[in-house]
Chains A and B, each alone.
Chain A
Amino acid sequence: MNDVVTRDVDFDVIVVGAGVAGCVTAYQLATKGHSVMLVERGQSPGSKNLSGGVFYSRIMEEVLPGFIDEAPIERHITRNCLSFLSETSFVNVDYGDERLSKSVTAVSVLRARLDEWLATKCEEAGVMLMSGVKVDSLVMEEERIVGIRAGEDELMAHVVVAADGVNSFICRDAGIRNKEPLKYLAVGVKSVIGLPRNVIEERFNLTGDEGAAYAVVGDCTNGVGGGGFLYTNLESLSIGVVLRLDDLVSKEETSSELHDRFLTHPAIEPFLRGGELLEYGCHMVAEGGQAMVHDLTRPGLVVVGDAAGLTLNTGFTVRGMDLAAGSGVAAAKAIDAALSKGDFSKASLDAYCAELDKIFVGKDMRTYAKAPHFLENPRMYGAYGQLLSDVMYGVYNLDTTPRQRLVSGALGALKKSPLSLLQLVKDMYAAGRSL
């Protein structure tokens, strides 16, 4: 199908949403010489956006060389801690590595600052930024998307990019993407706690701009699928829980109480002590992995970032910003080619999907395709935290009863727990195959 279009347009490309995905797409297209408008409903880019805050930012060095030095990033993550909680205990796997500080792959960020900076870079590259404008709907001519509508105004473009985040109302209202099942969605509830720089560095054993990232599973969500996170910024901590909606609904839990339960857990509270609350927020997280990645193109439309379901929760890390950036790179490449051919058919724009498949975005989505199913396992959020702490208790609680070897102690703890050995082996096998 070859339908060359020479219609009158206001811009070559209109990008809806100035998050990471939208900014990267707009920036790349502008630097290739196309006329681009970037529309953002927030008063300033970033003012509606919230993430946990660890950006696996290597991809940004390709987009904006010097990103690590120039962007408003908080800390370089050099310590990663996986923490299993039971109601009264914690078992940590704490991983620090000098190699992580020599070649930076992960940084902590606060989105209000990062996105505003990215949008400024877009403007410098020639993008027309329209903040404080909510796009109400897509303008369609039969199956083809030809522009956007905001209030009374209609603006036309050869290609519209939906970079409007996980809820993507513009795609949903146009019937392009349906409402996702609840098990593919989670709500993140987060607090940013201000603390002096030196206090953070002492509490987390950091020097200079080094940073720590804690991923927490087990008791913190009281059995609701999801987990907790605790990330260090320069002068604040990002802390919160991610709660899968199917479980939140069926387990009759209250989201704000689960957030409070985590912040006041005896293993977590000392980190926050004496701090000042700077902000309390929440945001939806896409949790479906590969299963949510569908309907990425239509004639005249490309869907990127969270709007396209491009988020990965592996249990250890929540990744979305790097995938958003990667999808922006792939989309810009495909749209650039479509503009030079003058062909905006679905077949032409499908080059975007092929490009995604080629780079880390598509590859990682496939690698972790089984992770969401594995993480639905309720034992991850209860029994395992308790089992681990019972094993450790047996090792360290030297109460003058004769010691057992670690393995028999562990088997004893397993016997007391509601888990069976077979289940444990099965889950470990599943973990190996999906994470």
Chain B
Amino acid sequence: MRKNPFGTVPERLDKNRYETDVEQSHIEIDQKAAAATGAGPLLVRVCPAHVYSQQADGTIGVLHAACLECGTCLAVAPPGVLKWHYPRSGMGIIFREG
């Protein structure tokens, strides 16, 4: 894999602007359903913002604050694994370029 000169994904996301909803997450994962369907590795791969991560205890970590709101995870997740909706009014990513 050739290295992107513009940094890792988290480093790149640091340059973005977000209005983070600290009170509630717009992503809910059903850990049991995720484990049963093996959805974890799929979510880790498809999300361009690396919101999902495989945890040592076998669960899937969710860093909702990094989300770019594309909806890809919801589209590919097996039924029952994710509850995903747009962040509350005015919250989330604020693209300055687009």
Interface residues of A (CB under 8 A from B): 41-44, 46-51, 110-115, 131-134, 150-151, 166-167, 169, 179, 182, 185, 187-189, 191-193, 236, 238, 245, 248-249, 252-257, 259-261, 263-264, 269, 272, 275, 277-284
B89 touches A261 (CB 8 A): no
Contact A256/B95 with A187-B48, A282-B72 known, Cβ cut-off 8 Å: no
Q: Contact check: which of B3, B19, B71 meets A167 at CB < 8 Å?
A: B71
A281 touches B93 (CB 8 A): yes
5 A-B pairs within 8 Å (CB atoms) are namely: A43-B90, A48-B95, A115-B98, A245-B76, A254-B46
Give the docked Cα–Cα distance between A249 and B72 (Å). Answer: 11
Residues of chain A contacted by B71 (CB below 8 angstroms): 166-167, 284
Give the docked Cα–Cα distance between A193 and B7 (Å). Answer: 12
Interface centre among B7, B72, B92, B94 (most CB of A within 10 A): B72
Chain B interface main SS type: loop
B45 at the interface (CB under 8 A from A): yes
B89 touches A133 (CB 8 A): yes
Contact A182/B16 with A236-B97, A281-B98 known, Cβ cut-off 8 Å: no
Residues of chain B contacted by A42 (CB below 8 angstroms): 90, 94
A284 touches B1 (CB 8 A): no
B24 at the interface (CB under 8 A from A): no
Contact A278/B97 with A283-B70, A284-B75 known, Cβ cut-off 8 Å: yes
Interface centre among A44, A167, A259 (most CB of B within 10 A): A167
| Number of B residues, CB within 8 Å of A | 41
Nearest chain B CB to A193 CB, angstrom units: 7
Q: Contact check: which of B15, B47, B70, B90 meets A284 at CB < 8 Å?
A: B70
Nearest chain A CB to B43 CB, angstrom units: 11
Give the docked Cα–Cα distance between A195 and B94 (Å). Answer: 22
Residues of chain A contacted by B97 (CB below 8 angstroms): 110-112, 192, 236, 238, 278-279, 281
Give the docked Cα–Cα distance between A189 and B12 (Å). Answer: 13
B1 touches A257 (CB 8 A): yes
B69 touches A48 (CB 8 A): yes
A46 touches B90 (CB 8 A): no
A43 touches B15 (CB 8 A): no
B89 touches A134 (CB 8 A): yes
Give the docked Cα–Cα distance between A383 and B68 (Å). Answer: 33
Q: Contact check: which of A166, A252, A280 meets B9 at CB < 8 Å?
A: A280
Give the docked Cα–Cα distance between A187 and B75 (Å). Answer: 10
Q: Contact check: which of A50, A253, A264 meets B4 at CB < 8 Å?
A: A264
B75 touches A182 (CB 8 A): yes
A182 touches B95 (CB 8 A): no
Residues of chain B contacted by A275 (CB below 8 angstroms): 6
Contact A281/B4 with A41-B86, A47-B94 known, Cβ cut-off 8 Å: no
Nearest chain B CB to A152 CB, angstrom units: 12
By Cβ-Cβ distance, the 6 closest A-B pairs, closest first, are A111-B98, A132-B90, A264-B2, A280-B12, A277-B6, A260-B4
Contact A46/B6 with A169-B86, A187-B46, A248-B46 known, Cβ cut-off 8 Å: no
Nearest chain A CB to B73 CB, angstrom units: 10
Residues of chain B contacted by A236 (CB below 8 angstroms): 97
Q: Contact check: which of A134, A169, A263, A283 meets B6 at CB < 8 Å?
A: A263
B32 at the interface (CB under 8 A from A): no
Residues of chain B contacted by A245 (CB below 8 angstroms): 46, 72, 75-76
CB-based nearest A residue for B85: A169
Contact with A along B30-69 (1 / 0, CB 8 A): 0000000000001011111110000000000000000011
- Besides A254-B45, A261-B1, A272-B5, 12 more A-B contacts (Cβ < 8 Å) are A42-B90, A43-B94, A48-B69, A111-B97, A112-B95, A112-B98, A113-B98, A134-B87, A151-B89, A169-B86, A263-B6, A284-B70
Residues of chain A contacted by B45 (CB below 8 angstroms): 248, 252-255
B75 touches A179 (CB 8 A): yes
Give the docked Cα–Cα distance between A284 and B16 (Å). Answer: 18
A280 touches B90 (CB 8 A): no
Give the docked Cα–Cα distance between A185 and B72 (Å). Answer: 9
B13 at the interface (CB under 8 A from A): yes
B95 touches A111 (CB 8 A): yes
Give the docked Cα–Cα distance between A131 and B89 (Å). Answer: 9
Q: Contact check: which of A46, A150, A259 meets B48 at CB < 8 Å?
A: A259
A134 touches B72 (CB 8 A): no
A249 touches B42 (CB 8 A): yes
Q: Contact check: which of B7, B47, B76 meets A249 at CB < 8 Å?
A: B76
Nearest chain A CB to B68 CB, angstrom units: 5
B88 at the interface (CB under 8 A from A): yes
